Amino acid sequence: MYNFIEHVNGSEPEAVEDEAKYAQFMERIENGEKIEADDWMPEEYRQTLIKLISMHGISEIMGALPEKEWVPKAPTLYRKLGIMAKVQDEMGHGQLLLRVAEDLMAPYGRSREDLMMDLLSGDLKFHNVFHMETRTWADAGVIGWLVDGAAIISQTNMLDASYGPYQRALQRICAEEVFHAQHGEAIVMALAEGTPEQKAMLQEAVDRWWPSLLMFFGPGSAETTGSSKQEVTTKYKIRKSSNEELRQAFLDKYLPRVFSLGLTIPDDTLRYDEEKEQWEYEQPDWNEFKQIIKNNGPRSAERLRLRELAYENNRWVRRALSNEPVVQA
């Protein structure tokens, strides 16, 4: 899901590694074979996967937090149950993905604990959208429909990923995303067909989320922010398409639906170029994007604080059970 991959330290291409092994590895990848956790893999592949999947996983965990703000407030019993199940799934997706990342990190003696520490220290980044604030119930709808929609576009693109454990996790995740998409659609549909206040609330949320949605896919090219590593993920057949291709796919799928609900997009230059067969749009502020993912977004500090508190306040629990667990008779 997270397409903005920063430069990975210590993973210069295979100067010292066994060239024969590398050639054989690349042949497996080319043949569409799946790589497993204990297979030989080039350092660059492992590092790229760790970076990608730990970001993806921790973004799911952090992504639970903005929506969670609306869980207790959901306006009907059915919505309360639906959004609880949906946010639970996000935590569940985080669990699947972090397990995949943790197994990849195991050779370095690193674990879940290190990932949490990296998150809190700012070394492990999470997705730009989850640094943003939520203001109204319509945010729960827009997150479920459009933010998740963007995530679905990115994730389905990796359903054939060369790394077996990641690909299998994504299969499970994408199957659940169908429910998420409809959960989001249902909230949005009720607001779009509701009172003038409900419609206004929905439009305001769409306007506010628009730049974040464009940013979601990462910059179109490395020049924009100076450090996109998207070509590495395509070289190793982890994903198929570029950031811009994914953004275009998102606009293709969702804009007609947005317009069909009578909603507008806050960009006067937005239009579909029939000749190029792609959407023209105003670029979001990529400098702001860089600031956001450096944990300088509107709600970065508060969201991290929640994870920090969960970590700190439960230290005694981890300490209590970290030895041989007691098995109940």
DSSP 197-209: HHHHHHHHHHHHH
Cβ-contact 131, 66 below 8 angstroms: no
**Minimum distance, C-beta of residue 296 to other proteins, in the bound complex (Å):** 20
Helical (H) or strand (E) element with 279: strand 278-280
| DSSP secondary structure of 4-57 | --PPPTT--SSSSS-HHHHHHHHHHHHTTPPB-TTS---HHHHHHHHHHHHHHH
CB-wise, 294 or 318, nearer to other proteins? 318
When the beta carbons of 15 and 175 are compared against other proteins, the nearer one is 175
Q: Decide whether 26 or 261 has the Cβ nearer to other proteins.
A: 261
Is 11 or 140 the residue whose CB approaches other proteins more closely?
Answer: 140
Query: Closest approach of Cβ 13 to other proteins, in Å?
Result: 26
Nearer to other proteins, 78 or 108 (CB): 78
Number of H helices, E strands in the chain: 14, 2
Query: Are 144 and 191 a contacting pair, CB within 8 Å?
Result: no
Using CB atoms within 10 A of its CB, is residue 153 exposed (0-12), middle (13-18) or buried (19+)?
buried
**Nearest approach, Cβ of 267 to other proteins (angstroms)?**
19
Query: C-beta of 123: minimal distance to other proteins in Å?
Result: 19
- List the one residue out of 238, 243, 240, 237 whose CA is nearest residue 221: 243
140/290 with CB nearer other proteins: 140
In angstroms, the CA 24 to CA 33 distance is 11
- Least CB distance from residue 179 to other proteins, whole Å? 5
If DSSP codes are grouped into helix, strand and coil, which group holds residue 77? helix
Kindly state the smallest distance separating residue 115's Cβ from other proteins, in Å: 11
Among 93, 91, 71, 65, smallest CA distance to 297 is for 65
Among residues 84 and 270, whose Cβ is nearest to other proteins? 84
What are the helix (H) ranges across 106-129?
A: 112-121
Residue with tokens 């008779």: 329
Q: Return the number of the residue (9 or 76) whose C-beta is nearest other proteins.
A: 76
- CB 55, min distance to other proteins, A: 16
Q: Are 150 and 215 in contact (CB under 8 A)?
A: no
Q: Are 213 and 150 in contact (CB under 8 A)?
A: yes
* In the complex, least distance from residue 21 CB atom to other proteins, rounded to whole angstroms: 19
